[in-house]
């Protein structure tokens, strides 16, 4: 099979596409024939060495956590999936697994391959995983949709992948949702996702507009705590929880006394360390929302598998929408292969 991989961390030039033997699923595992592989910030950070880590356990790493395709083979002890079933995959390259989704096939524990409804595209399936499950956990914190039913929710970065799914999941749960963005084009994306109010944080009067919408936010889904600290505190009060899912270039100084005075809490999360039961709750919410038709695609930028380095660079440099790699296969039909420079937003 063709697979993107790296044998040492570093810049995107350490990535190559090579022929590898097709991996076999072990007990409790499934093999998935990948149609699309989703690219997330965590992927280029892991490859660059920015998140630490020593020598690669298997001598190489096929990157990317998220993907979508069809179950191709089933290992012993798996009964919940069948060969030929359409699935979306999450955390494929986590916990020491060398078979990420940037390849024609990947092998994952069966619980990390979820049914993909017939009405959902493989591109949407490959866009879930890290972004949607992170959004679900930011909102529910182990309690699922009931945690934000009837709540006032602020989503910072409402045009990003996590922000997009956070808006849709919160709306499904019955929350009132405001979002902040930096441009009118991004505002259109947040509105299309279903936000009740969208505010450009670069314009004056942001806090006043948000306070008119809700004097106090119950939940804030935060992508940049340091940059948004004052705004978050202006909207915080007793019971407010700020869920922080991304780190900034330098750690912000947290004004503990101000948070104490507001009786607000800051909850940090990294998906790989979320307790198993809470992760399962977030995955279940994501899966049920997908089945209900609640979750929709962001604009997609497609790259060919051979352009994996360019795809990761695009994400590192802040690509708007979702970046995916196409393997050249989608069910029984061929997938258009997009070379770098031809990747397009739909």
Using one digit for the tens of pLDDT, what is the confidence trace for 121-163? 999 999 999 999 999 999 999 999 999 999 999 999 999 999 9
Cα distances (angstroms) measured from residue 23 to each of 6, 31, 63, 171, 211: 17, 8, 15, 40, 54
- Distance CA(235)–CA(211), nearest Å, equals 7
13-46 residue pLDDT tens: 999 999 999 999 999 999 999 999 999 999 999 9
End-to-end CA distance of the chain: 29
Tokens of 167: 């808006």
Lowest mean pLDDT among 149-153, 251-255, 274-278, 290-294: 251-255
Q: Please tell me the pTM assigned to this model.
A: 0.94
168-184 residue pLDDT tens: 999 999 999 999 999 99
Q: Could you tell me which CATH class the domain 133-273 is placed in?
A: alpha beta
Residue written as token pair 């356990």: 57
pLDDT at residue 345 above 70? no
pLDDT at residue 342 above 90? no
In the chain, which residues fall in CATH 3.90.180.10?
2-128+295-334
- Distance CA(137)–CA(274), nearest Å, equals 9
pLDDT at residue 337 above 50? no
SS3 149: coil
In the chain, which residues fall in CATH 3.40.50.720?
133-273
Tokens of 11: 């810049």
- Distance CA(206)–CA(19), nearest Å, equals 52
Segment 233-255 shows an average pLDDT of: 93
pLDDT at residue 241 above 90? yes
Q: Where are the alpha helices (DSSP H) in the chain?
A: 41-48, 122-127, 130-140, 161-173, 184-193, 206-213, 225-234, 256-262, 276-291, 308-316
pLDDT at residue 50 above 90? no
Q: What percent of the chain has pLDDT over 70?
A: 95
The two counts, helices (H) then strands (E), for the chain are 10, 17
| CATH architecture of the domain covering 2-128+295-334 | Alpha-Beta Complex (3.90)
Look at residues 34, 21, 95 and name the one whose alpha carbon lies nearest to residue 331: 34
């Amino acid at each position: 099979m063709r697979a993107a991989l790296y044998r040492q961390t570093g810049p995107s030039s350490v990535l190559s596409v090579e022929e590898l033997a097709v991996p076999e699923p072990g007990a409790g595992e499934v093999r998935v024939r990948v149609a699309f592989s989703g690219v997330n910030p965590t992927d280029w950070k892991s490859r660059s060495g920015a998140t630490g880590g020593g020598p690669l356990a298997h001598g190489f790493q096929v990157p990317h956590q998220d993907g979508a395709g069809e179950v191709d083979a089933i290992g012993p002890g798996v009964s919940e999936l069948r060969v030929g079933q359409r699935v979306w995959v999450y955390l494929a390259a986590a916990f020491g697994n060398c078979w990420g989704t940037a390849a024609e096939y990947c092998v994952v524990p069966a619980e990390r391959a979820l049914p993909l409804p017939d009405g959902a595209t493989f591109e949407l399936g490959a866009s879930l995983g890290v972004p949607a499950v992170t959004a679900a956990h930011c909102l529910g914190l182990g309690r699922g949709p009931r945690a934000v039913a009837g709540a006032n929710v602020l989503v910072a970065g409402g045009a990003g992948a996590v922000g997009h799914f956070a808006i849709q999941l919160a709306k499904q749960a019955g929350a009132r949702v405001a979002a902040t963005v930096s441009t009118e084009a991004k505002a259109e994306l947040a509105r299309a996702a279903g936000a009740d109010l969208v505010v450009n944080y670069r314009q004056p009067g942001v806090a006043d507009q948000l306070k008119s919408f809700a004097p106090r936010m119950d939940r804030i889904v935060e992508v940049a705590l340091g940059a948004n600290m004052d705004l978050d505190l202006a909207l915080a009060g007793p019971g407010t929880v700020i869920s922080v899912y991304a780190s900034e270039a330098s750690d912000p100084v947290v004004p503990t006394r101000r948070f104490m005075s507001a009786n607000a809490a800051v909850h940090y999360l990294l998906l790989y360390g979320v307790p198993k039961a809470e992760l399962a709750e977030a995955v279940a919410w994501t899966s049920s929302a997908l089945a209900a038709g609640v979750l929709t695609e962001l604009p997609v930028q497609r790259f060919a598998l051979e352009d994996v380095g360019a795809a990761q660079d695009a994400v590192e440099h802040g690509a708007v929408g979702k970046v995916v790699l196409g393997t050249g296969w989608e069910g029984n039909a061929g997938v258009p292969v997009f070379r770098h420079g031809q990747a397009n937003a739909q």
